[in-house]
Amino acid sequence: MGLSPEWQSDLLIMLGTLVYSLLSILIPKILKEKNKISKFIARKIVHGFSGLGILVAPYLNFPILAFLFAALMTILVRLSGEKSKAKPLQELFNAISEEEEIKLGYLQGPYSYCLAISILVFVFMFFPDKYYIPISAILTMMYADTFAAFIGKRYGKHHISIPWVGNKRTFEGSASFFIVSLSISLFVFFFFGQFLPGNSMILTVGQVFLLSFSLSFVSTLLELCSPSKYDDIIVPLGSTLIISLIAIALKIW
């Protein structure tokens, strides 16, 4: 007895996601080993592309496949270290680890990043028509945070002092975080809520703007107030929770 068309479709999508994810990790790792790019650039490439596999979630008939894939990637990242018994995982650690992670012995940032994705993909298996909420939060974590750090370091002049936050925050950095987050959220909610929804619930234009502005505002506040070590997990989880509650209260859920 063969697989149903739904299973065949999902397995094909996940195969493509696996190939894409491996390439997004292996290419910068190899380039770093050949000294074509710096460790910083290699890390940013991995951070900016590997998580895009979540974009397939709204099109799966069996969302558990997305969770199993995310969980596998989380485990592999956690096992990556200088003393890892698997050579590829050891090489990945050497290629993208930061100084503090070398002391810890594992990729703390990427692990938090993968763990957040795994948790959100698991929770929204039970609400598969609302995947655009965690997708928007995760893409915000991937891109708005990086862009804000760049703008803050290069152009930040108005510092915001928060005692428990490790890195200094600036008004310029937070403003750029909000703008990028808003752009990402508008794209995600329009794309999955109207243009190519897959299994997603259709949104009105008003709902798209409301959810986008809300998520951007909440994400910016969370990023501003989160300790720098933990913002990779606090921002996506916290913003998804709050926006989900807002959606329920406004009967968008």
Q: What is the pLDDT of residues 184-207, one digit of tens each?
A: 999 999 999 999 999 999 999 999
Q: Is 80 exceeded by the pLDDT of residue 153?
A: no
Taking residues 199-224, what's their average pLDDT? Answer: 94
Q: Is 80 exceeded by the pLDDT of residue 241?
A: yes
Locate 245 and state its tokens: 């509650």
Residue 14 is predicted with a pLDDT of 95
Q: What is the pLDDT of residues 66-76, one digit of tens each?
A: 999 999 999 99
Nearest to 28 by CA among 17, 37, 19, 16: 37
Q: Is 80 exceeded by the pLDDT of residue 106?
A: yes
pTM: 0.89
Q: Mean pLDDT in the chain?
A: 89
User: Can you name the residues that pair with 169 across neighbouring β-strands?
Assistant: 160
Residue 170 is predicted with a pLDDT of 77
